[in-house]
Amino acid sequence: MVPLTHYLIFSAVLFSIGVLGVLIRRNAIVVFMCVEIMLNAVNVSLIAFDRYLNQHDGQIFSFMVMCVAAAEVSVGLAIVIALFRNKATVNLDEINLMKW
C-alpha cells in the first residue's frame, strides 16, 4: 500500500514545478500551462485525502477545480488572442501597460 505521504510529496513536487514554470517562463501560453500543472497537483492531493479518509467531498471539490480551470483557460486564452492582436507578441515582459 502506498502511504498518503507519497501522494502528497508527488503533489508538492508537481506544484513546485508549476510555480517554477510561472516564475521563469515569459511565454504567456506556457505560463498558462504551468498554472494548469498547479491545479492538477492540487487535484491529486484532494483525491488522495478523499481515498484515505473515505469521503467524497474532495472529489466534488476537484470537480469544481476542473470547472474553474476550464473557465480560466477560455478567458485567459481570449485575453492572449486580444493582446496578440494589439502587440503581436505573447512575451510577458513586453506586456507592461498596467505596470506601475
Partner 1 sequence: MELLIFYPLALVSVILALFVVFNKSPIGSAVCLIGMMLGLAGVFILLQAHFLAILQIIVYAGAIMVLFMFVIMLLNLKDDDTKWKIRERNIFLSSATGVLIVGILYKIIDVTTDTKFDSPATVPDNFGTVEVVGTALFTDFVLPFEVASILLLAAMVGAVVLAKSKVD
Question: Interaction with partner 1 in 20-49: which residues (CB under 8 A)?
Answer: 20-21, 23-27, 29-30, 32-34, 36-37, 40, 43-44, 47-48
Cell 483525491 locates to 47
CB of 28 to partner 1, least distance (A): 10
Candidates 42, 56, 98, 99; binder of partner 1 (CB under 8 A) is 56
Looking at the Cβ atoms of 54 and 96, the one nearer to partner 1 is: 54
Q: Which of residues 64-83 bind partner 1 (CB under 8 A)?
A: 64, 66-75, 77-83
CA 94 to each of CA 33, 35, 60: distance values in angstroms, whole numbers, following the listed order: 19, 20, 39
Looking at the Cβ atoms of 23 and 100, the one nearer to partner 1 is: 23
CA distance 100 to 86: 20
Looking at the Cβ atoms of 68 and 100, the one nearer to partner 1 is: 68
Does residue 59 interact with partner 1 by CB under 8 A? yes
# of chain residues touching partner 1 (CB under 8 A): 72
Residue 9: DSSP 8-state: H
Please provide residue 79's backbone torsions phi and psi, each rounded to the nearest 5 degrees: -65, -40
Length of the chain: 100
Taking the C-alpha atoms of 93, 40, 72 and 28 in order, what is their torsion angle to the nearest 10 degrees? Answer: 20
